[in-house]
Amino acid sequence: MFKKLKDSIQGFSDQVKETVVEKEIDSDTLDDVLWDLELELMQNNVAQKVVEEIKEDLKEELVGTSVKRTQVDEKIKSSLKKSMRNVLKAPDFRIEDLANEKPGLVLFMGFNGSGKTTSLAKIAHSLKEDHEILLAAGDTYRSAAIDQIEEHGENLGLKVIKHEYGSDGAAVVYDAKEHAEKEGYDLVLADTAGRSHSDKNLMEELDKMCRVNDPDLKLLVVDALSGNDVVEQAKKYEEIGFDGIIVTKVDVDKKGGATLSLGYLTGKPILYLGTGQGYEDMEEFDPDQMVERLLE
């Protein structure tokens, strides 16, 4: 999945081997190779700030240490691993925990096409054995959005609360929450629009959605293929605030840097990675595993 990044790390390591036989690594030697690594990281969609952080960390770790030729690979890898691990935040909560709220309300936010509805359905699929799940068709804007979530409801055997197209998404979610309270559901998973109803701005609508419904968890869904743009997207949603991130389409993203950048720049944990279009194609995010993947 992260082949390009792996190649560049190998190149970095080879260069250190060329310049260092068995002496202390000095700052100048390292600067040359760090430059290459920096370029590669940036070409792999790692944001500038994160590249700087990794570089500084790596310098601190390596300058002044003496490494035997045979141990260069290992040393570089372990240092880089440590630096990358430092920029990733581990999730400190699980969606299941919200079931105790009876009903817990989870909002899925993100721009059109980012994978909100698909991710919502995947999570519903993974939780439905142990919990009573209700779906809310809160995206009343996009044509076919309601049909899409209804189809997931049918496939998964889950009830969907919906209104008409063009109606107020906040009211749909409000209804769903009431219905869930009355009928004893554990969790409401609510879709939201990724575009605005022409007259208002999207963030205002989402703000209303949140004020009316007081969600227990707000998840931002971003598409790894957007590259560095995901950071811009996340910044826009900081206006509303969110508690965690889902990164989708990592199965088609050959770079992987966006995921590395997001956690660090938003300070919010990545909870899941979307790895395909099927219901099973979602992984709980594990920072250690992520770093292993980048460097294996």
Ligand X SMILES: Nc1nc2c(ncn2[C@@H]2O[C@H](COP(=O)(O)OP(=O)(O)O)[C@@H](O)[C@H]2O)c(=O)[nH]1
Write out the two tokens for 41.
């990281």
Select 116 or 125, whichever has its Cβ closest to Mg ion.
Answer: 116
- Whether the ω angle into residue 103 lies within 30 degrees of 0, i.e. cis, is yes
Least distance (Å) between residue 257 CB and ligand X: 17
Least distance (Å) between residue 223 CB and ligand X: 7
Segment 57-76, which members bind ligand X (CB under 6 A)? Answer: none
Least distance (Å) between residue 213 CB and ligand X: 19
- How far apart are alpha carbons 170 and 107 in whole angstroms? 11
Binding mask 1-40 for ligand X (x = CB under 6 A): ----------------------------------------
Q: What is the DSSP string of 223-290?
A: EGGGTTHHHHHHHHHHTT--SEEEEE-TTT-S--HHHHHHHHHH---EEEEE-SSSTT-EEE--HHHH
The number of beta carbons lying within 10 Å of the beta carbon of residue 296 is: 10
> Chain centroid to CA 84: how far?
16
The stretch among 9-17, 46-54, 114-122, 279-287 that binds Mg ion (CB under 5 A) is 114-122
Question: Residue 276: which of Mg ion, ligand X, none does it interact with, CB under 5 to 8 A by kind?
Answer: ligand X
Select 17 or 165, whichever has its Cβ closest to ligand X.
Answer: 165
Question: 115: which residues sit within 8 A by CB, 6+ positions away?
Answer: 221, 223, 246, 248, 249, 274
Binding mask 80-119 for ligand X (x = CB under 6 A): ------------------------------x-xxxxxxx-
Q: What is the DSSP letter of 219?
A: E
Amino acid identity for residue 83 in this structure: S
Select 27 or 112, whichever has its Cβ closest to ligand X.
Answer: 112
Question: Contact with ligand X (CB under 6 A): which of 204, 277, 278, 283?
Answer: 277
Question: Contact with Mg ion (CB under 5 A): which of 15, 79, 117, 119?
Answer: 117
- How far apart are alpha carbons 248 and 222 in whole angstroms? 6
**Cβ distance 66 to 244 under 8 Å?**
no
Least distance (Å) between residue 118 CB and ligand X: 3
> Chain centroid to CA 157: how far?
27
Write out the two tokens for 66.
């003496």
Select 34 or 134, whichever has its Cβ closest to Mg ion.
Answer: 134
- Asked if 274 interacts with ligand X (CB under 6 A), we say yes
Segment 192-231, which members bind ligand X (CB under 6 A)? Answer: 194
Question: Residue 112: which of ligand X, Mg ion, none does it interact with, CB under 5 to 8 A by kind?
Answer: ligand X
Question: 9: which residues sit within 8 A by CB, 6+ positions away?
Answer: 37, 40, 76, 77, 80, 295
- Asked if 276 interacts with ligand X (CB under 6 A), we say yes
Helix, strand and coil percent figures for the chain, each rounded to 5: 55, 15, 35
- Asked if 153 interacts with ligand X (CB under 6 A), we say no
Least distance (Å) between residue 118 CB and Mg ion: 8
- How far apart are alpha carbons 88 and 191 in whole angstroms? 27
- Asked if 152 interacts with ligand X (CB under 6 A), we say no
Question: Residue 274: which of ligand X, Mg ion, none does it interact with, CB under 5 to 8 A by kind?
Answer: ligand X
Binding site for Mg ion (CB under 5 A): 116-117, 145
Binding site for ligand X (CB under 6 A): 110, 112-118, 194, 248-249, 251-252, 274-277, 281
